[in-house]
Amino acid sequence: MSSPNSTTYFSKHIFFCLNERSNGESSCAKFNAQEAFDHCKNLVKQAGLAGAGQVRVNKAGCLDRCAGGPVAVVYPEGVWYSYVDNNDITEIVESHLKNNQVVNRLLLDPTVGR
């Protein structure tokens, strides 16, 4: 991974939508998003990918892509993922966060919104 410089502190961020809607509408929290976030954070730490110049795992509120939930997005690439379980999260960490290879089978259709 790269070291921090004057324009970026982390080389990648992965944001997990953890939004929960109380009105009965679909939301990522209803699909174990917190568990996926925790799993990702643990894997990133275990792999030695956490910290300055590397990867940051972040919580997010609504990312406005509810119809594809649960969702996560990796920046700076702007790659949106929809996942089902911790196996998918493991694949995202190993392939994308560690080896810079997008996991095509988990890509969120660009037309999916709220």
pLDDT at 2: 47
Structural domain contains residue 80: no
Question: Is residue 7 situated within a structural domain?
Answer: no
Task: Collect all residues with Cβ–Cβ distance below 8 Å to 7 and sequence separation of at least 6.
Answer: none
In a domain, 94, yes or no: yes
Residue 45: phi and psi, rounded to 5, are -65, -50
77 inside domain: no
Q: 26 lies in a domain?
A: yes
Q: How much is the pTM?
A: 0.90
Given this model, what pLDDT does residue 28 score? 92
114 residues of the chain, pLDDT tens digit each = 444 445 689 999 999 999 998 887 788 999 999 999 999 999 999 999 999 999 999 999 999 998 888 999 999 999 999 999 999 999 999 999 999 999 999 999 999 887
Structural domain boundaries, residue 56: 12-71+85-106
Structural domain includes residue 5: no
For the chain, the domain total comes to 1
Decide: residue 42, CB within 10 A, 0-12 exposed, 13-18 middle, 19+ buried: middle
Answer yes or no: is 113 within a domain. Answer: no
- Supply the CATH number for residue 37's domain: 3.40.30.10
